[in-house]
Structure 1
């Protein structure tokens, strides 16, 4: 994937092992509030393309994520997400599919150009590899599901995945939001507490599972998120591809 620049930032694929270690250290910093000296490593890293977003003025790494191509739905069990979700319904999907994982932005970095550039890089990868669907796990900080009840209620009411690929429960520790609440959820709080990347996926036509997986080791909850490329509105596709210029 060619490098992509917007404003003061540049997105590029990792060139070497040191780039990957930098990404892994940022992941540990972002997800576990580490000091940047410890790397978050797992067995999936070696099967992925790692994307780095850097500040061109300082060289600092401000965001990173990894991309794994799944050639067809029959190979969905090779994905990271399949550890936590029963994805058998996705086996009937065509391919190729793209899993976006470990997406993180350095704590304190709030420039919206960072997310825009990351999405532009993903768009290039999708186009170059003729991807039919993106998927992954959208992370919520902490493991208290009730803190996000308004957000989860919004997801249940408006954004559940279609039954033809809706993930089923596999993990032993989950927070289910399939059943309606006794009280009416607050939409303002729901939007406020929604992770920015998930919000962007939903605006493009993304859909989610009906439960969150509780990951005590990472001190996070995550919701399976899928986005069929054919469902992205034409105007949104044009905006994403404009970032590539």
Structure 2
């Protein structure tokens, strides 16, 4: 399907059952309502977004059928990256020049007390989608709740120690309000608290050897701070790749 002339593809995925939980793609109005309700709990200022009509919604359900976590997922051909969510805040022309098919997860939300196993199943489902679609990589805007970057100072300082996207993949600036977090290098006083303040989706990207933009952007509309993150599938460490493959595929 298209959005503004750009092609965003809803992925296909067979359900995954692990430990009494299930990962599947939303199917029908009831699922969509449940997804949006959980998203609104996590992001109170989150309103209707055109991408919701064309992308898929991944759902992680508990043993009792309760929705534990959700993330929007869209497959984006390189020539359509300008229509992605991340392109609203970053210039993705360098990424588009690399070609291939890309997976953009976004709008991640988890219910209170969802637990690590639910997140692990979410990552497994994302890995399955990526593997089955043969994507060049995953990318997205990992979002900190709250637009005031000072509240995320130490978590941003952690990012200053992470690899910055190489020149051929580094997104350019687009948003008017930006935070150059490399300047915060060395200010972390509580490593554990800083890591806890890092969004789960961003931690997932970094665990796969991902790289980040050289600046965060302020989104006043959603009251969030976005950081562009990218994972090239062929650069994922071998042990991590094999572990994810075993978890994702039956």
Superposition TM-score, scaled by structure 2 size: 0.87
Cα deviation digits, residues 4-52 of structure 1 (max 9, x gap): 112131110111132122212211111128xxxxx84210111211111
Aligned with 1:224 (options 213, 228, 240): 228
Q: Which residue of 2 aligns with 1:146?
A: 150
Distance 2:29 2:226 in 1: 28
- The answer on whether the counterparts of 1:151 and 1:187 sit within 8 Å (CA) in structure 2 is no
In structure 1, the residue corresponding to 2:113 is in which secondary structure?
coil
- The answer on whether the counterparts of 1:133 and 1:226 sit within 8 Å (CA) in structure 2 is yes
In structure 2, the residue corresponding to 1:158 is in which secondary structure?
coil
In structure 1, stretches of 5+ residues that fail to align are 34-38
Residue 29 (str. 1) matches residue 41 (str. 2): yes
Distance 1:98 1:187 in 2: 33
Structure 1: 4+ residue segments shifted above 6 A: none
Q: Which residue of 2 aligns with 1:18?
A: 30
Distance 1:30 1:113 in 2: 19
CA-CA distance at 1:98 after TM superposition: 0.7
Give the alignment's Cα RMSD to 1 decimal: 1.9
Q: Which residue of 1 aligns with 2:66?
A: 60
Distance 2:25 2:70 in 1: 10
Q: Which residue of 2 aligns with 1:175?
A: 179
Name the stretch that deviates more: 19-28 or 122-131: 19-28
Distance 2:226 2:178 in 1: 9
Q: Which residue of 2 aligns with 1:101?
A: 106
Residue 186 (str. 1) matches residue 189 (str. 2): yes
1:204–1:198 Cα change, 3 Å: same
Distance 1:70 1:63 in 2: 23
Cα deviation digits, residues 121-155 of structure 1 (max 9, x gap): 11111111101110111111212212222222221
In structure 1, the residue corresponding to 2:95 is in which secondary structure?
helix
Distance 1:54 1:184 in 2: 39
- The answer on whether the counterparts of 2:162 and 2:212 sit within 8 Å (CA) in structure 1 is no
May I ask how many residue pairs the two structures share in their alignment? Answer: 236
- The answer on whether the counterparts of 2:68 and 2:114 sit within 8 Å (CA) in structure 1 is no
Distance 1:93 1:187 in 2: 38
Residue 116 (str. 1) matches residue 120 (str. 2): yes
- The answer on whether the counterparts of 2:205 and 2:231 sit within 8 Å (CA) in structure 1 is yes
Residue 155 (str. 1) matches residue 166 (str. 2): no
- The answer on whether the counterparts of 1:32 and 1:219 sit within 8 Å (CA) in structure 2 is no
CA-CA distance at 1:177 after TM superposition: 1.5
- The answer on whether the counterparts of 1:213 and 1:221 sit within 8 Å (CA) in structure 2 is yes
Distance 1:49 1:180 in 2: 36
Q: Which residue of 1 aligns with 2:87?
A: 82
